[in-house]
């Protein structure tokens, strides 16, 4: 078992199956991610071993850079090696690590993550011997190189349009163009290990040009740099904006959770997913799940990847799906609320990486509260406390009233219910300009990342070509009660001409479209809307109030 390491700041806590309930720290000290991982581990759920540096370490780092950080990390890595039988930087059985943020309050996608830490020219060979999976090795290597450039060195903006992100994406696009006759239909998952090795080598050369130095070979250097980058992300523009929008304090800091890597990109019986124990849009008591086969978790939550029917977990891995159904029920029973959980499947084995209270629309919050009281999961007093911040009088279900000639433009996947009409905006700046003029806005992007939080906040609705219902940006949109449609396969965007195409239809920025969150359909213009009130649910709440 990992030791609890006391410092002048606070303890460093272990994460793993051997923890008892009494060992669980408080979320203010270790962040909600680690706190909930400890609780899951304590009830026997499959959580990868690791340790957490608490929020006090972040606050100390932001003040004086925490010079003792390297020694703290080295000590905990030695304990983790002893518990796993793996060696950080080892030639035969290398230990690879994930480095994740974890604030005391939920901030989905606003803070940084670095995965696959510990890979270098030596551990690549050991990782290959250990797994016998060359494609996994080279895919993980190129992922680490890109995330290190973007997160640690800040020379890239990923989907926000930064230089390095664009350059890495261009290398991937070139590799797909070389490998496939129709590269638009292919993704990195379609590359074989030879192609992936060549891509990783190209990434390594690009990294050196952008950073001005070769990729670091010392695994402890990597771990220290990744940890410092996660601490710095507390003050990133998007994190500061999210706290401002949600009225959160700036002095809380984030914990850093370091865990043994599990690999969703290990092949056909592997993958990553995000689930909600209940539908966060409608509140219905049905499992709400996105899964991407042969992928790491960032592929889903980043919103960069499109999901397809071939990624249906229940069909691909029925035993794992049945296990997840049971896990969702156990999580609700343990936490007494709807849970959003992230997981990885490696070679058919389930690993849980996170759970937190699921963000939901106001209508979903109302339905969940009523149904969970009826199920005996919570008492009416607890339900009333959860609903106290909502304007119950404003909760309604809008419904489109369509004329026979209302033009249907396209269909997408619904990530949030409701109806929204507004003018098309193709970036955050355009969305803010239109909103400042009092105009309703539909933010239309190929993919929406949490970097777009300022645009999400002012928009009435969001439409994307890529991404799933459980991407971080979709979660934030639902929390803000925005209509959100994702994965619109027929959407194309020409930023140079400021135009979009939806199938055979071409529209300009500023044109008006309507998003129907119930059907996932997209219409031209601004059709008439009727509003229905959830009277039966509201009557139940009034009955609770009368009984108190």
Residue 478 in contact with residue 420, Cβ under 8 Å?
no
Same domain, 321 and 269: yes
Using alpha carbons, select from 24, 6, 30, 48 the residue that is nearest to residue 345: 48
Cβ burial of 33 (10 Å; 0-12, 13-18, 19+) is buried
Using alpha carbons, select from 321, 343, 324, 320 the residue that is nearest to residue 332: 324
Per-residue pLDDT tens digits for 348-359: 999 999 999 999
Return d(Cα 184, Cα 419) in angstroms, integer: 31
Domain-embedded: residue 321:
yes
Q: What is the pLDDT of residue 19?
A: 47
DSSP element (H, E) containing 309: none
Q: What is the pLDDT of residue 21?
A: 46
Same domain, 340 and 435: no
Domain-embedded: residue 525:
yes
Return d(Cα 218, Cα 152) in angstroms, integer: 15
Same domain, 523 and 435: yes
Q: How many other β-carbons are positioned within 10 Å of the β-carbon of residue 273? A: 27
Per-residue pLDDT tens digits for 351-409: 999 999 999 999 999 999 999 999 999 999 999 999 999 999 999 989 899 988 889 99
The CATH number given to whatever domain includes residue 279 is 3.30.470.20
Domain end residue (candidates: 332, 357, 382): 357
Q: What is the pLDDT of residue 481?
A: 86
Q: What is the pLDDT of residue 161?
A: 36
Using alpha carbons, select from 412, 414, 397, 409 the residue that is nearest to residue 484: 414
Same domain, 401 and 528: yes
Same domain, 434 and 331: no
Q: What is the pLDDT of residue 470?
A: 81
The CATH number given to whatever domain includes residue 410 is 3.50.30.10
Same domain, 312 and 287: yes
Domain-embedded: residue 71:
no
Tokens standing for residue 3: 């030791």
Same domain, 512 and 449: yes
Q: What is the pLDDT of residue 184?
A: 66
Domain-embedded: residue 373:
yes
Query: Is 103 in a helix, a strand, or coil?
Result: coil
Q: What is the pLDDT of residue 162?
A: 34
Domain-embedded: residue 410:
yes
What is the pTM (predicted TM-score) of this model?
0.87
Domain-embedded: residue 129:
no
Question: What is the sign of the dihedral through the CA atoms of 155, 157, 162 and 163?
Answer: positive
Return d(Cα 439, Cα 513) in angstroms, integer: 13
Residue partners of 426: CB distance under 8 A and separation at least 6: 444, 445, 493, 495, 498, 500, 509
Q: What is the pLDDT of residue 72?
A: 93
Residue 9 in contact with residue 57, Cβ under 8 Å?
yes
Domain-embedded: residue 442:
yes
DSSP element (H, E) containing 496: none
Same domain, 367 and 350: no
Domain end residue (candidates: 329, 357, 385): 357
Same domain, 385 and 510: no
Domain-embedded: residue 462:
yes
Tokens standing for residue 502: 């939806």
Q: What is the pLDDT of residue 441?
A: 97
Q: What is the pLDDT of residue 404?
A: 83
Return d(Cα 401, Cα 356) in angstroms, integer: 37
Report how many domains make up the chain.
3
Q: What is the pLDDT of residue 543?
A: 97
Q: What is the span of the domain harbouring residue 540?
A: 362-394+533-547
Same domain, 297 and 409: no
End-to-end CA distance of the chain: 48
Q: What is the pLDDT of residue 1?
A: 40
Going from the first residue of the chain to its last (548 residues), give the mean pLDDT of each consecutive group of 10, the final group possibly shorter. Answer: 45 68 74 94 95 94 90 94 95 96 90 96 95 96 95 70 62 85 73 92 94 97 98 95 92 96 95 94 94 88 67 92 97 97 97 95 96 98 96 92 90 92 96 96 89 88 88 81 92 96 96 96 94 96 95
Q: What is the pLDDT of residue 11?
A: 63
Same domain, 330 and 434: no
Same domain, 369 and 492: no
Cβ burial of 249 (10 Å; 0-12, 13-18, 19+) is exposed
């Amino acid at each position: 078992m990992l030791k609890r390491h006391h410092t002048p700041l606070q303890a460093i806590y272990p994460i793993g199956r051997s923890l008892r309930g009494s060992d669980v720290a408080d979320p203010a000290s270790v962040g909600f991610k680690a706190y909930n991982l400890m609780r899951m581990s304590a009830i026997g759920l499959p959580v990868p071993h690791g340790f957490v540096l608490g929020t006090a370490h972040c606050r100390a780092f932001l003040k004086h850079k925490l010079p003792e950080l390297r020694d703290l990390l080295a000590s905990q890595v030695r304990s983790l090696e002893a518990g796993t039988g793996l060696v950080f930087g080892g030639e035969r059985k290398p230990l690879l690590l994930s480095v994740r943020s974890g604030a005391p309050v939920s901030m989905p996608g606003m803070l940084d993550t670095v995965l696959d830490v510990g890979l270098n020219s030596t551990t690549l060979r050991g990782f290959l011997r250990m797994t016998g999976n060359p494609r996994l090795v080279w895919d993980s290597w190129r992922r680490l190189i890109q995330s290190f450039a973007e997160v640690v060195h800040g020379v890239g903006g990923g989907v926000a349009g930064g230089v390095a992100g664009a350059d890495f994406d261009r290398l991937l696009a070139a590799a797909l163009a070389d490998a496939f006759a129709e590269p638009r239909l292919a993704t990195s998952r379609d590359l074989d290990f030879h192609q992936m090795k060549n891509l990783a080598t190209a990434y390594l050369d690009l990294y050196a040009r952008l950073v001005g130095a070769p990729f670091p070979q010392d695994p402890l250097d990597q771990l220290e740099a990744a940890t410092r980058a996660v601490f710095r992300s507390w003050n990133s523009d998007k994190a500061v904006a999210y706290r401002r929008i949600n009225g959160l304090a700036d002095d809380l800091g984030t914990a850093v959770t370091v865990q043994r890597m599990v690999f969703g990109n290990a092949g056909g019986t592997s993958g990553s997913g995000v689930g909600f124990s209940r539908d966060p849009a409608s509140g219905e008591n049905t499992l709400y799940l996105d899964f991407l086969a042969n992928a790491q978790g960032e592929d889903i939550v980043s919103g960069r990847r499109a999901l397809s029917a071939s990624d249906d977990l229940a069909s691909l891995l029925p035993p794992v799906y049945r296990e997840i159904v049971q896990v969702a029920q156990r999580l609700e029973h343990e936490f007494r609320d709807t849970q959003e959980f992230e997981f990885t499947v490696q070679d058919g084995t389930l690993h849980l990486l996170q759970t937190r209270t699921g963000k939901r629309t106001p209508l979903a919050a109302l339905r969940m509260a009523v149904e969970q009281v009826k199920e005996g999961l919570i008492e009416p007093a607890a339900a009333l406390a959860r609903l106290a911040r909502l304007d119950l009088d404003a909760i309604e279900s809008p419904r489109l009233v369509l004329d026979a000639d209302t033009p249907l433009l396209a269909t997408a996947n619904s990530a949030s219910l409701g109806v929204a009409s507004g003018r098309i905006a193709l970036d955050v700046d355009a969305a803010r300009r239109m909103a400042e003029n009092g105009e309703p806005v539909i933010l239309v992007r190929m993919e929406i990342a949490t970097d777009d939080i300022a645009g999400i906040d002012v928009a009435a609705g969001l439409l994307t070509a890529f991404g799933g219902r459980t991407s971080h940006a979709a979660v934030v949109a639902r929390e803000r009660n925005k209509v959100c449609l994702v994965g619109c396969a027929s959407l194309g965007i020409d930023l140079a001409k400021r135009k979009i195409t939806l199938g055979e239809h071409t529209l300009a920025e500023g044109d008006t479209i309507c998003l129907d969150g119930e059907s996932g359909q997209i219409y031209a213009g601004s059709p008439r809307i009727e509003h229905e009130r959830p009277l039966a649910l509201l009557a139940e709440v009034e009955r609770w109030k009368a009984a108190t």
